[in-house]
Structure 1
Amino acid sequence: MSHYLYFDLLATTPCDERVVAAMLPYFTEQYGNPASTVHRAGKRALNAVHHAREQVAALIGAHHSEIIFTAGATESNNLALLGIAPDVRQPNGRRKILTSSIEHRAVLAPCRSLKHRGFCVIELPVASTGRLNMDALEEAIDSDTLLISVQLANNEIGTIQDIAAICALAREYGAAVHCDAAQGVGKIPVQVAELGIDFLSISAHKFYGPKGIGALYCRHDSPFRLVPMLHGGTHEHGLRPGTLNVPAIVGFGEACAIAQQELAHDMAHAAALRQLFIDLICHAIPESRINGDSHFHLPGCISITLPEVDAESIMLATPDIAMSSGAACTSDIPEQSHVLSAIGLPPEAAAGTLRLAFGRGIREEDVRAGVALLTEAYFQTLELS
């Protein structure tokens, strides 16, 4: 059997063995409920949660009290967007929400829900590189703007946005900024104080942690406050009721600690693999197009358009390579990627676009083998079309 090549690290990452080892005792040995602090088992669980909260906070330069545990970035995005909008305490009753046209659906969907409820929601255009059009942002923002929500790094093309510049502009108008950083935290340096951001969403499984756990960073001195979307408990400062998932939280914390320690190495490794792939594939198929920003991109992410073929056909012809044609959460939706449309790719080019990502555990020989399989599949598909 051929070696299976997992090149879909933007969809999810394998759980690091060190993360699994940290989690295991909290399933069968340290199984207390962290809300049950009248006895030893509950106190130990609470201490483990507190330690993990500090690990998450340390990775992004936050204070532990600013970390709210959630089930992942999708929930965090919804909590930030829907939680800020209904609050009558927000400054001046503002009603405008600004976002970008290439956001993850976990941001676009709640924004569109707010639009149905009477908010003015504007999806701002991006350049062909995927970078937000700052002129359009400057034209749209005004004293009625409540929130700007822009992702740190795009989940299809890997383009990194200038969040610090967006936050600086927002401060001039007294608006809040939320950032979906699911694809950025653990892959590139993220320091919330340097960005000047109000809210930031994280998912552990995007950087070798467990699935089903994430966090929302809420700046403690922000004038903007969230109201809970769920009710039934006082957990997580009253913003996220329900018994905490202690094993997953411990794993999340460990993933953050590892990422903080190994970030420079991981970035260099991913960047080298990405460049090797580009060099090899563009030599084999010179008409290939690399999408996204050539300077501001995730180290290991590649969005590549192969000419005159359909990406689905290529994936079917390469069962030993895990890759995708877009975001994992929309892979069952038979329509062109809204991200590729927004950067100006015509339908035929979008149909021939693949998304790959390299990182921890992937070797140079894996990339070479993957390019060989892709090249063979490409020319075979081209002959049959």
Structure 2
Amino acid sequence: MKRAYLDNAASTPIRDEVLKVMINTLKSSLGNPSSVQHSYGRETRSILEESRICIAKSIKAFPSEIIFTSGGTEANNLVLRSSVLNLGIKHILTSQLEHLSVLQTILDLSIRHEISVDFISFDKKGVLDFNDMETILKKNMYKKTLVSLMYANNEIGNLLEVDQVIFLCKKYKAYFHSDIIQGIGNSHINMEQLSCDFATVSAHKFYGPKGIGFAFIRKDILKNMKPFITGGVQEYGIRSGTENIYGIAGLSEALRLSYCNLKNHIKKIKNLKSYCIVELKKIFPNIIFNGLSSHLEKSIPSILNFLYPTKPDHLFYFHLDIMGIAVSKGSSCSSNNKKNHKISHVIQSITDKYLLTRMMPIRISFGIFNEKKDIDLLVEVLQKVRK
């Protein structure tokens, strides 16, 4: 049976080159990277630090600004919790469209540490209201504030107007954290240009291994950070525990390869997205795209989200899978629970409730290993399901 994997926003396939690096690292890195008393440990330490240098070079950062974590969720927790505990943050400004690892962590911090929280308003396309953002920042200008907004929305693909956010953060002396997990590897991110204070990354979104990521923390802020996980001196004393060497080596290689041919990869994925939009419009002339996902310049190339004309059925996505199509309704991090039949908080926030009683959201996410034949199979299956 023909199959098409179109859920790259959830996780991407690992590149063969990355697997090779990881396997070689598993075979060769016998020592503990903290055991620098002998050559085995020093050799493993060398892999760790060379990977850190390679990552920093790719994104135009300093090696000391890279703190390895178990993935994006831990990285978001590290940044948000450490900002409150170490930097004296008393106010957090975010949006209701963020990933749950940000929203639930902020909720927890607001309860445990009496942090005031505000949410920026947005329109039906998920576009943030920057006048509202400035009003909130001005109102709280005497509180130490952290702004947390993702670079590219993981469900509807909207690209953040980063320059506007940075301008307002600087104007009101607020710290800025950006979850760049969907953006990195799918767009050119340069930390010299993206002048945020914190950024968070997960390797399995750009053809690297699962279970590894990093937090970027500006060096002038890092000196004020205390341990997030205690019990050792790893990761500059911020995150104790023996480092995942083969995962880190895989992350480094995946990021290096992403940046090597990024222009061509973006072009390919954008062409796939354009082709998909055209083909979907042929079978659904009145198709409704969610957010700005169909706008090629204002959304990330890898994500397209639309409403499929069928009454809500939590088995709908399984039917598509049985017919060879792997897509999702939204974030995989919010799907693995007893309420997985519910529509995501992002789609509920921007979509008319009446429409959601008659239509199902579908998130298609493209990757570098997809071809036009995958889109053709998707369209064919959607037509069959509709009939």
| TM-score (ref. length: structure 2) | 0.93
Query: What is the rounded CA distance, in whole Å, between the counterparts of 1:359 and 1:84 in structure 2?
Result: 34
User: Could you say which residue in structure 2 is the equivalent of 1:326?
Assistant: 330
Shift of 1:19: 0.3
Query: What is the rounded CA distance, in whole Å, between the counterparts of 1:111 and 1:212 in structure 2?
Result: 22
Query: What is the rounded CA distance, in whole Å, between the counterparts of 1:114 and 1:315 in structure 2?
Result: 35
Identity of counterpart residues, as a percentage? 30
Query: What is the rounded CA distance, in whole Å, between the counterparts of 1:97 and 1:30 in structure 2?
Result: 42
User: Are the aligned partners of 2:178 and 2:200 in contact in 1 as well (CA < 8 Å)?
Assistant: yes
User: Are the aligned partners of 1:287 and 1:306 in contact in 2 as well (CA < 8 Å)?
Assistant: no
For the pair 1:159 / 2:158, whether they are aligned, the reply is yes
Alignment of 1:1-385 (within 5 A): 2-87=1-86, 90=87, 93-116=88-111, 117-141=113-137, 142-222=141-221, 225-293=224-292, 294=295, 295-310=297-312, 312-318=314-320, 319=322, 320-331=324-335, 332=337, 333=339, 334-346=341-353, 348-349=355-356, 352-377=360-385, 379-380=386-387
Query: What is the rounded CA distance, in whole Å, between the counterparts of 1:36 and 1:10 in structure 2?
Result: 37
Shift of 1:348: 3.7
Query: What is the rounded CA distance, in whole Å, between the counterparts of 1:308 and 1:227 in structure 2?
Result: 51
Change (3 A) 1:129 1:225: farther
Shift of 1:94: 4.6
| TM-score (ref. length: structure 1) | 0.93
CA deviation profile, 1:22-55 (whole Å, cap 9, x unmatched): 1112212222211111111111111111111122
Shift of 1:313: 4.7
Query: What is the rounded CA distance, in whole Å, between the counterparts of 1:312 and 1:374 in structure 2?
Result: 16
Which 5+ residue runs of structure 1 have no aligned equivalent? 381-385
User: Are the aligned partners of 2:270 and 2:302 in contact in 1 as well (CA < 8 Å)?
Assistant: yes
User: Are the aligned partners of 1:71 and 1:212 in contact in 2 as well (CA < 8 Å)?
Assistant: yes
Change (3 A) 1:201 1:311: farther
Query: What is the rounded CA distance, in whole Å, between the counterparts of 1:67 and 1:183 in structure 2?
Result: 18
- Match for 2:114: what amino acid? G
Aligned residues: 374
Shift of 1:222: 3.9
User: Are the aligned partners of 2:329 and 2:343 in contact in 1 as well (CA < 8 Å)?
Assistant: no
Query: What is the rounded CA distance, in whole Å, between the counterparts of 1:370 and 1:223 in structure 2?
Result: 46
User: Could you say which residue in structure 2 is the equivalent of 1:383?
Assistant: none
User: Are the aligned partners of 1:84 and 1:224 in contact in 2 as well (CA < 8 Å)?
Assistant: no
CA deviation profile, 1:253-305 (whole Å, cap 9, x unmatched): 00010011011111111111111111111111112211122231111211011
RMSD: 1.7
